[in-house]
Each structure stands twice: as structure tokens, then as C-alpha cells.
Structure 1
Amino acid sequence: MQRLLFYFLISLSLTLSAAVLALEANHNSSKSLDSIYKLGAGDLLSVQVFGEPDLSFSEIRLTDAGTFSYPFLGEVRAKGLTSADVERSIKSSLLGDYLIDPKVTVRILEYRSFFVNGEVKKPGGYPFKPGLTLRKAIAIAGGFTERASRSKFYIIRDNDEIRKPIRSSLDSNIYPGDIVTVDESFF
């Protein structure tokens, strides 16, 4: 009986450890994406300035130009910058003339959409979530149509100025602003 209880406790401990590691990995993957993610039109941000409610905004959506309007500073350019870059820019702009020691936090609340077209049941734009793969994107878009190719997929990366479609696999990562095309199968 003691041996059975011992094995049960060991098993429970290993299961809980694995669950904690999985949660940490998921949290860290989102955090690491935010540290390298370049902002663009449609992203939703939160800007908080500690102790300054008039300078804090729970939601700011970036315009088509990748900017947002901010008190005292006017239009703030965020396109192509990380949230940390925007944070530093606002802090340095407020420092001195407006505040003595501003404590600024910029968070990404919602990433811009990715798009799926071609032979899927519900083509269109969908909200991005970290960890998205082509397989998941197709599932979000309702799955394959009857005529869909199961091997010909293309992604146009949002950050690719040439806009060249890249042949991809179902396990390819999808990023905000990407355009996925599922080709038609002829057989």
C-alpha cells in the first residue's frame, strides 16, 4: 500500500512539474515574441504612465500609417518598432519638459490580423495569437475545401517588401499580418 502511494505521489509530482513547465514555456514564447515583434497598422496597445492617468491609455489602435496620437507629443510613430522601443521613445519625450522621472509601460494587447485565402471554407482575416502555425490557421479558417491541395501552401510575410509567396508546410509559423494561400488541387 505504501509503495502504491509512493508511486502515485511521484507520478502526481511529475505531472504537475510538466504542467508548470508547459505554462512557463507558453508565457515565455509570448513574452519573447513581444520583445522582437515589430509593430504595424492595426496593432492594439496599452500605454501606462505611472501616477499619470491623463497620459495613460488602456487601448490605442495603430493607424494605417502605424502611428497613434498622444497628449503633448502629437503623432507617435510605432510602425517597425518594438513595444520596448515605443516605451523608450515616450519616456524620453516626456522626460524633462513634462515629467521628472516618467515610468512608462507599453504592452501589446492585440496583434494585427493574419489572412487566409484560397481553398479554405471561411477565407478572411483572423486575430493573431502567439504559437500559430499554418495548420492552426487553416483550422481557424474552417478547414480545407473539397478542392484544396493538401501540400501546396504559400505565405506572404508582412515584413517582406517584395511580397514574394514562400512555399510552406503545415508546420510553418504564421506571424501577424501574414497572408496564407491554400492552392487548389487538380486531382
Structure 2
Amino acid sequence: MKRVVRHTAAEMLAIATAIASTLTCSGPGKYVWVDAYDPPPQAEKPSLITPGDVIQVRVLGQDQISTRARVRGDGRISLPLLNDVKVAGLTPIALSTELRKQLKDFIKDPVVTVSLEETGPPSIYVIGEVTKPGVYPLDRMGGVLAALVNAGGLTQDACTDCIFVLRQGPSPARIRFTYEALVRPAGKAPTFQLQPGDVVVVE
């Protein structure tokens, strides 16, 4: 039995908003059908911080600010002086640079290091017109149809021609599927592989 990681409605809204903001460069409403989608070559990716990871933030000479925290479902952690800070999607080096900038308002010439101590299980998001929207463990071999089944299937109001995968990264994409294409053994839809952080949206 698969384990689902539940998040609050506010966290899910924050995640969806963040993804939508990331993909605005593609323009509202734009997409590519899955059969026309050619994924970019897989280059070696830097370690990005994701929800569920545990990170250690150290500020030299400031033990009261240094923090070890697990990244929440909304991609944030809480830090003294700075409150909630968005960390998901950044490398540890990029996050240390960002925290250094923010802490300059409170500390003279802060020295900040960030280390990734634990990585959470890879996950995907299934939202929209599904019975049980939420965050689910990634089944690399199961594909989009398995993600929909894990989320309880489509609701009665779902548009069966309006299933999308929102993919972040250097080449963000909005990839469109039909339910009919997912259940038939032809084309790219049934064998499309999801990646960590993908968002499956049913409109």
C-alpha cells in the first residue's frame, strides 16, 4: 500500500501558486501535447532542496540563529529574525547566498553555510479535479495514470481532455494529456515518466 504524505489546503495552494509563477514564462494557457514533447537532455543536476529535506543553517558566531529544520510542504522553513523563508528549489550554496543578503539587515557581514543533511523521498503533486488531491510518493514506472489512481481518480466535474503535467527546471513545460490516451497502449502518454516535483493538474 502506498503511503501518501498529507498537506494542508494552504500548503497545497502555496505549492500550486509557486509552480504557476515558475511557468508564467510560457504564457497563460500555453501547453504542448505529450506526443509532441521532447524532454531536454538529462544533464547532471545540482542537489536542489525539496520539501521533506532536512537542512542545517549555520551562521558563524550566531548559535541562536543557526537552525536545523525539515523543509515543509510549502517549501519553507522558519528561521530566527527572518521568520518563514522559501528554500525549496535552491541549491545549498544559492540558499546561503540568499540568507546572507537577508541577514545583513540584522548582522554585520554574516557568514552563512547551508548543508543538506537528509533528503526526503521523491514526490509529486496531484491537484485539481481529483478525489484526493495531495502529495504522493513518486512511482517512476507508474506514470500519470498511476498518479491519478493514487489520488482516487477523476471527479465528475473533471475535463478528461484537460490533464496537465507542470514541470519545473531549466526548461519548464506544461504538458497536456487526455484520459483516453493514458489508458490506451499507444503513443507517448502511457509511458511518460514523471520526475520529482512534477505537478499533475486535472482541470
Q: What is the TM-score with the length of structure 2 in the denominator?
A: 0.42
Name the larger-Rg structure. Answer: 1
- If asked which structure has higher relative contact order (CA below 8 Å, sep 6+), I would say 2
Q: What is the TM-score with the length of structure 1 in the denominator?
A: 0.44
- Greater per-residue helix proportion: 1
